[in-house]
Structure 1
């Protein structure tokens, strides 16, 4: 049976760079993208894996979206979508593949956000979803640890990905972007490649005694 690394959100941005980084390390890859927002689709995909010769030894859960939503102009459908992708997508993925990872004594990395530590107006639903992800993963690390599985969270700050284009999101987003860069000690945006290198470290044996951690990759923003 062949061991694979499963990556979600692999179509672009951080998820794509994580997949490329793992490929460079010689991992067999299985990539999921938009379907993680559909819990039933995740269950069915996991069932197909169990019926095949593929075994998931590592997981990178990177699927996520961000949208602007001020209190004065919140849209219920948009809030629901953000929570469905960012929180429920992670939850569904974690529930679908643990038997494989437990059998391999494998490891999991979930992409969170520095917004999981603090507030961030006007992206309230996104912030709430990332707080929820951090809590879920800390609890899951406690549950999976006795079974030999490590689970950690990487929390990027402001990263220049195809999804992060404040110039297309309106004046509020542009103002927030300028403020974030001014507050960041390194005075620049991060790159997806920089996040992917931290993810790779947490997945390999060099991080064998690291679990339940949330590693910030933010140029010093949260110092």
Structure 2
């Protein structure tokens, strides 16, 4: 047993010694990249800084994507392909993955970021709205785990061993209550469990699956919250419940995603990673006690 453990340790050390701190040569797909202030767009930029071979920047429509692709090519000299993809459509997800594998011989990174949020209370929700949120938020993550993972098991394009990194956007709302509507929170809890279950389904293949759980981040999706606070003159209070005492910005999530996507995170698998300024680290506190 000791010999087996030593051999495994040596394999890990060798892998880390040869691992590039970048995404050089890798093929990446990002969904939900169309919002000008969103996590998806910020992640395309963060990935581009690490020098991959190509990034597919996708969203339901091409709005803002063509300009983003030009910016990535001009600024970072990285090929960026804008594409309209319904992230909750099996055929659309398979199509963009098949295109990447056909053109570049491989798939290495899939960031399943497409999603919607609602602010409805339980009694204001109905079955139709609940299932729509589940379709866009949870089904899209399922399709990413299934189809991207299958593509990552293929060799080609200079890829000599199977593997890759699938990252799905969940939320601190999926970890515990109090951060979103019932349907939104349920969908993000589903994303977390999908990632954890999928990580074991791909055991031994070097395909890693993780969920990233943002806290309160200023994006297009949360614009209403921030606009309301600014109108009321209470913007300075946003994020005061976490120990960092502020809200986050999209690039802070994006750089964590870029790390998870890279070989530097080769032992990070099956995790729900909260990037929330510390909010989810504690139960609600009593001021002046325990801190």
**What is the TM-score with the length of structure 1 in the denominator?**
0.88
Structure 1 residues without counterparts, runs of 5 or longer: none
Residue 133 (1) aligns with residue 191 (2):
yes
Tell me by how many angstroms 1:15 deviates: 0.9
String of CA shifts for 1:146-190, please: whole Å, max 9, x gaps.
Answer: 11111111111010001112348989xx9xx99872321122110
Residue 37 (1) aligns with residue 88 (2):
yes
Q: Hey, what does 1:124 align to over in structure 2?
A: 182
Residues 122 and 195 (structure 1), Cα distance of their counterparts in 2 relative to 1, 3 Å cut: closer
Tell me by how many angstroms 1:127 deviates: 0.1
Q: Hey, what does 1:194 align to over in structure 2?
A: 252
Residues 15-164 of structure 1: pairs in structure 2 closer than 5 A? 15-27=40-52, 28-34=54-60, 35-103=86-154, 104-120=162-178, 123-164=181-222
SS, match of residue 37 in structure 1: coil
Find the aligned partners of 1:192 and 1:122 in 2 and give their Cα distance: 18
Residues 178 and 67 (structure 1), Cα distance of their counterparts in 2 relative to 1, 3 Å cut: farther
Find the aligned partners of 2:109 and 2:202 in 1 and give their Cα distance: 13
Tell me by how many angstroms 1:50 deviates: 4.3
Find the aligned partners of 1:149 and 1:167 in 2 and give their Cα distance: 37
Contact 1:70 1:121 (8 Å CA) reproduced: no
Contact 1:183 1:221 (8 Å CA) reproduced: yes
Tell me by how many angstroms 1:121 deviates: 6.7
Find the aligned partners of 2:238 and 2:125 in 1 and give their Cα distance: 23
Structure 2 residues without counterparts, runs of 5 or longer: 1-24, 61-85, 155-161, 282-291
Contact 1:159 1:192 (8 Å CA) reproduced: yes
Higher RCO (CA-CA < 8 Å; seq separation 6+): 1
SS, match of residue 107 in structure 2: strand
Shifted more, 16-25 versus 114-123: the winner is 114-123
Contact 1:70 1:122 (8 Å CA) reproduced: no
Which structure shows the bigger proportion of residues in helix conformation? 1
Shifted more, 128-137 versus 185-194: the winner is 185-194
What RMSD, in angstroms, separates the aligned Cα atoms of the two structures? 2.4
**What is the TM-score with the length of structure 2 in the denominator?**
0.68
Residues 50 and 183 (structure 1), Cα distance of their counterparts in 2 relative to 1, 3 Å cut: same
Shifted more, 193-202 versus 103-112: the winner is 103-112
Contact 1:68 1:169 (8 Å CA) reproduced: no
Query: Which one of 207, 216, 223 corresponds to residue 274 of structure 2?
Result: 216
